Structure 1
Amino acid sequence: MRFIHMSGRNRYFGTVEQQGLERRADLLWQIVKDDPSYCFHGRAVGLLKRRAVDVGAQIALARLQGLGPSPQLTPETIEARISEIESADLSVEVQQRWSADELGVTMSRDFLRNSALPTELTVYEIGINTSDEEFDKIDDLTQSCGILLPSSAFLRGDAGPAVCLFAKTSDGRVIGFAAALVQATCAPSEQGKVWWGFLSTSDEWRGRGIAKVLGAMAMVSMADRYGLSNFETGILSENAASIAVSKKLGFSTSGLLDLLAIDAQTLSKG
């Protein structure tokens, strides 16, 4: 049985617990959106305070939402915060922050000149006409790949510029997805940054470059349509497949890390 939580026209994705996370984050964002200390791209409100002593605010975010992200920290800050977070009986996850600029857009253009999706696939972009059935299929795909979609306001572009692409077979199956969307924040240093990724491909279609093509298309479209070319993504160090795709499209490690504080009690295994 599918459970869908919505606030107004906004729709949340993933498991029931993950939908709860997105709903709490959406409501929290209405309170803190004018504070430059915070950012949001449709899944969990993140903390932009980057000193080690700001760990208390990150722990509070995790308690409220279930997940307390804090992006672009130095390894030294990460080390200091982890001990405090674990002392609060929370778990942690660390991702490498990768970034790409105009060179990445150029590399994506070059890649697309010589690469294409299989002819039996058709690419669609999420928008106001995307049906509930299509959202269900995209959600099922990304969940199968261990990826949580942002809320629909971000996917549709209601919350800011976005290019979210999915590939369908002739019989209507959604087998590939990639997205690029602007993170919501009023922090001057973060303006214009595009969160890129969510790369997903169904098992039977893997190894044919589908996620890479869709990811390249999303980057080029963001640059052409909105003039944006500052792309960011977070990748686990052991995720060799995502690292390989990102390198091919001009991403490189920034030397900074993203730290996620996780409260299993609030998240309820979401």
Structure 2
Amino acid sequence: MSSGQRFFGTPSQQAVTRRAAALWCLVKDDPRYSTHGRAIGLNARLSDDIELHLALARLQGIGPIDDIADADADIRDTELRELGLITDRYAYWLTGDTSLRTCADLVAAFRLPDDLEPEWIDPDTPIDRLHDLAELLAACEMMLPMENVVRGIALPSVYVLLKDRSGRPVAHASSTRAHHPDAPNGGEAHWGMLATLPERRGQGLAAYLGALAMVEMNRRYGFRSFGTGIREGNTPSEALCTRLGLAATGRSVLLAIDPALLDGDKLTK
């Protein structure tokens, strides 16, 4: 997964994803671990071992634990801070039974602005295009995952952007198989990274692309369930996710951050 591929973002972010790519080569067949291309995480549905959680943070600079019950996340947060780590946290939201139909209907009904058209990332997409996409995400305080995930080589993934007449990307969404197929939540794909340039907001582009990514992930790979993390207080994201049929689960994504290896108190927005 790491050989010859490119990494994006700040030097610190690139270092995290480079270490994650190397680690993934060792643990990709172990259902306890998951990733959608930024860092390797622990799947709480199979293990909440704090020693493994700490090891992920100290090896990569950041160690997520995915799909952990909120009450357990509260306890783990305190434990990590007492050990000198920084923590970051997202509420875990998941689609419902009717979400795919809602998304398909939205895609069918949406009228794309005349100056925009979709573009899908694939193994043959020029590397300059990925750098363009990385710039879009950086402008929205996000980071593009490692190249082989973005291209759908390392994991089943869909990455879609909208480009204007000059070819500039103005909006983006993606979905990736994050969990091992044998895990209890192996049928849930990661979804999100919704990014829209400020001057193109208010046109419904995020909802359209988010719905399109889910529909395409289902068409290509059969996924019917999609999960995402939302930081507490992010009302616009909560409203958009509610519109597409996602709801809070009472579970969290909790990140342990080693300040010796990662600049700042979070990896991405």
TM-score (norm: length of structure 2) = 0.92
Post-superposition shift, 1:255?
A: 1.1
One-letter amino acid matched to 1:153 = N
Cα separation, partners in 2 of 1:210 and 1:53, compared to 1, 3 Å: closer
Q: Sequence identity of aligned pairs in percent?
A: 36
One-letter amino acid matched to 2:130 = F
Alignment match, 1:192: 187
Q: 1:142 aligns with which of 137, 142, 158?
A: 137
Cα separation, partners in 2 of 1:226 and 1:7, compared to 1, 3 Å: closer
Alignment match, 2:246: 251
Structure 1 gaps of 5+ residues are 1-5
Structure 2 gaps of 5+ residues are none
Aligned length: 265
Post-superposition shift, 1:36?
A: 2.1
Cα separation, partners in 2 of 1:51 and 1:172, compared to 1, 3 Å: closer
Deviates more, 1:172-181 or 1:101-110: 101-110
Post-superposition shift, 1:191?
A: 2.1
Q: 1:260 aligns with which of 234, 243, 255?
A: 255
Matches within 5 A, 1:1-270: 7-49=2-44, 54-185=49-180, 187-269=182-264
Alignment match, 1:3: none
**CA–CA distance in structure 1, aligned partners of residues 48 and 236 of structure 2:** 35
RMSD, aligned CA: 1.9
Post-superposition shift, 1:7?
A: 3.6
Cα separation, partners in 2 of 1:102 and 1:224, compared to 1, 3 Å: farther
The Cα offsets for residues 226-260 of structure 1, whole Å up to 9 and x where unpaired, read as: 22111010110211111111111111111111111
TM-score (norm: length of structure 1) = 0.92
Cα separation, partners in 2 of 1:177 and 1:51, compared to 1, 3 Å: closer
Q: Which has the higher helix share?
A: 1
Deviates more, 1:165-174 or 1:152-161: 152-161
